[in-house]
């Protein structure tokens, strides 16, 4: 065969191969990008206003409190432009001490009413509010603690404007707990929050998503899931300017000296108990971990109510002289 013809064929084959590889890569990128966008929209946008029934049933109690008992409806504006709706519940006896209660994903401020008797009976006011993209509050999507920590900081501004002598504690459940832990790093320079309670917190969002998708799909290799999560994180960045990798409470608490009480159920199938253990181990300052036996995710306040109250009261006695 003529040598120049062989060279030409090799160039054609090589060029065709390169083009084929490029088209495959482009196709795979499109598939993963669409998958990432779909996942992000479902994970951070579509499931945040489900208004779960067991929280919706507390709405009448909230309405009664506002209309009859004198609870204060509050609206503030986030630095990101959306409204945040909340309710200030005063202690039966005048008090400078206030707990800010942060609900979990797909819940509303109504969830905080499960904790009202616990804190009001111990001489604390209670501030509950709808997190961004939940309930009556605005916001286009949930960020799993990334922007929520700044919203929390603004509620603290509001409390201190209302009463500059306020002693403030923060109690979060699930996503609310992760928000509280991420805020605790912001609090290091100001110490405006005296203590935190983190119930059923996840230590790292990317790790949690990967674990749950692996469990759901049952793949032996997490490579494809890792790629999907990366693209979903990219979608979050394009739509809302944050990355899933930035939602990692375990990195935040490494510098925190404010006291933190960690609570977790050993029957939690949503957030592994190991995450609570790693958070507690990583925390720089005073911390304590209490494990509730046979208790599901975020349900200890209901399923182990007396034990829950006793654990909180002991922690308050230690960190706040309560």
CATH, residue 184: 3.40.50.1820
- Residue of 46 and 92 predicted with greater confidence: 92
Give yes or no: residues 227 and 212 share one domain.
yes
For 122-174, what is each residue's pLDDT tens digit? 999 999 999 999 999 998 889 999 999 999 999 999 999 999 999 999 999 99
Give yes or no: residues 42 and 142 share one domain.
no
Give yes or no: residues 157 and 227 share one domain.
no
Give the mean pLDDT of 86-93: 96
Domain count, the chain: 2
Give yes or no: residues 144 and 276 share one domain.
yes
Domain boundary among 194, 220, 242: 242
Give yes or no: residues 83 and 94 share one domain.
yes
Q: How high is the pLDDT of residue 111? A: 93
The band of 235, judged by pLDDT with boundaries at 50, 70 and 90, is: confident
Give yes or no: residues 220 and 180 share one domain.
no
Domain boundary among 217, 242, 267: 242
Quote the domain boundaries for residue 24: 1-46+206-242
The band of 119, judged by pLDDT with boundaries at 50, 70 and 90, is: very high
For 11-39, what is each residue's pLDDT tens digit? 555 566 666 656 565 555 565 555 555 55
- Residue of 269 and 236 predicted with greater confidence: 269
160: number of CA atoms within 13 Å, CB side?
A: 13
Give yes or no: residues 62 and 190 share one domain.
yes
Give yes or no: residues 55 and 194 share one domain.
yes
Give yes or no: residues 113 and 130 share one domain.
yes
Torsion angle (degrees, nearest 10) of CA 299, 191, 88, 101: -10
Give yes or no: residues 190 and 304 share one domain.
yes
Q: Please determine, for residue 248, whether its predicted confidence score (pLDDT) is greater than 60.
A: yes
Give yes or no: residues 9 and 158 share one domain.
no
Are 176 and 198 a contacting pair, CB within 8 Å? no
Provide the whole-model pTM: 0.87
Q: Please determine, for residue 41, whether its predicted confidence score (pLDDT) is greater than 80.
A: no
The band of 237, judged by pLDDT with boundaries at 50, 70 and 90, is: confident
Give yes or no: residues 29 and 92 share one domain.
no
Measure the CA angle with vertex 178, ends 92 and 66; round to 5°.
30
Cα separation of 133 and 142, whole Å?
A: 6
Domain boundary among 242, 267, 292: 242
For 294-316, what is each residue's pLDDT tens digit? 999 999 999 999 999 999 999 99
């Amino acid at each position: 065969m003529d040598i120049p013809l062989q060279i030409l064929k090799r160039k054609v084959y090589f060029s065709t191969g390169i083009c084929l590889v490029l088209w495959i890569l482009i196709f795979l990128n499109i598939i993963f990008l669409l998958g990432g966008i779909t996942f992000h929209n479902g994970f951070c946008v579509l499931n945040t206003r489900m208004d779960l029934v067991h929280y919706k049933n507390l709405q009448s109690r909230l309405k009664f409190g506002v209309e009859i008992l004198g609870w204060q409806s509050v609206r503030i504006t986030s630095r990101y432009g959306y409204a945040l709706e909340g309710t200030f519940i005063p202690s039966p006896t005048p008090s400078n001490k206030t707990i800010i209660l942060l609900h979990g994903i797909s819940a509303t401020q109504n969830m905080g009413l499960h904790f009202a008797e616990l804190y009001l009976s111990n001489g604390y006011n209670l501030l509950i509010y709808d997190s961004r993209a939940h309930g009556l509050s605005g916001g286009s999507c949930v960020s799993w603690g990334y922007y929520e920590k700044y919203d929390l900081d603004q509620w603290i501004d509001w409390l201190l404007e209302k009463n500059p002598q306020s002693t403030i504690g923060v109690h979060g459940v699930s996503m609310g707990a992760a928000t509280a832990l991420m805020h605790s790093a912001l609090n290091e320079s100001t110490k405006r929050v005296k203590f935190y309670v983190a119930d059923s917190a996840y230590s790292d969002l990317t790790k949690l998503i990967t674990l749950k998708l692996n469990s759901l799909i049952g793949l032996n290799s997490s490579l494809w899931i890792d790629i999907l999560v990366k693209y979903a994180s990219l979608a979050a960045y394009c739509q809302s300017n944050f990355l899933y990798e930035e939602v990692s409470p375990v990195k935040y608490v490494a510098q925190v000296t404010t006291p933190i009480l960690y609570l977790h159920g050993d029957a939690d199938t949503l957030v592994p108990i190991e995450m609570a253990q790693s958070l507690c181990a990583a925390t720089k300052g005073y911390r304590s971990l209490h494990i509730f036996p046979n208790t599901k995710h975020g349900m200890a306040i209901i399923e182990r109510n007396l034990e829950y109250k006793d654990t909180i009261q002991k922690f308050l006695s230690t960190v706040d002289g309560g």
